[in-house]
Amino acid sequence: QVQLVESGGGLVQPGGSLRLSCAASGSIFRMYALGWYRQAPGMQRELVAAITSGGTIYADSVKGRFTISGDNAKTVYLQMNSLRPEDTAVYYCNAELETILGKKNYWGQGTQVTVSS
């Protein structure tokens, strides 16, 4: 069984920084992509950043402020700098990976990020 465990959310003032972490565990044959999505109240869930087999991708709204990185194929971090109130959302770790059951998308439980003075 695959699990994605997130940490690092919280309350920060505008202009501040936070670092999110996500660790995948379980019998993973192959990781195709590992990254972060976010969902603000009343909004659709959107891609923030991801590490894929083709490289890293970022939403235009976070380019130059957020950096995604990984220790290995099962751990990913999101360094968020120069945070803005509009970055407030629940952030979800997402993995596209393969197990004995085949290729599938998995989600973490979500971590709240609130940017407010």
- The whole-number pLDDT of residue 72 equals 76
Is the confidence at residue 47, as pLDDT, over 80? yes
Average pLDDT over residues 60-82: 95
Average pLDDT value for the chain: 95
Residue 1 amino acid letter: Q
- Cα–Cα distances in Å, from 113 out to 13, 77, 96? 11, 14, 23
Sheet of strand 66-72: strand arrangement: 3-7, 18-25, 75-80, 66-72
- The whole-number pLDDT of residue 4 equals 96
Is the confidence at residue 24, as pLDDT, over 90? yes
- The whole-number pLDDT of residue 9 equals 93
pLDDT tens for 81-93 read 999 999 999 999 9
Could you tell me the pLDDT band of residue 71, with boundaries at 50, 70 and 90? confident
The residue with tokens 């909004």 is 43
Q: To the nearest whole percent, how much of the chain has pLDDT over 70? A: 100
Tell me which residue of 22, 30, 28, 20 sits closest to 4, measured CA to CA. 22
Tell me which residue of 19, 5, 6, 7 sits closest to 66, measured CA to CA. 19
How many helices (H) and strands (E) the chain has is answered by 0, 11
Residue 87 backbone phi and psi in degrees, to 5: -85, -5
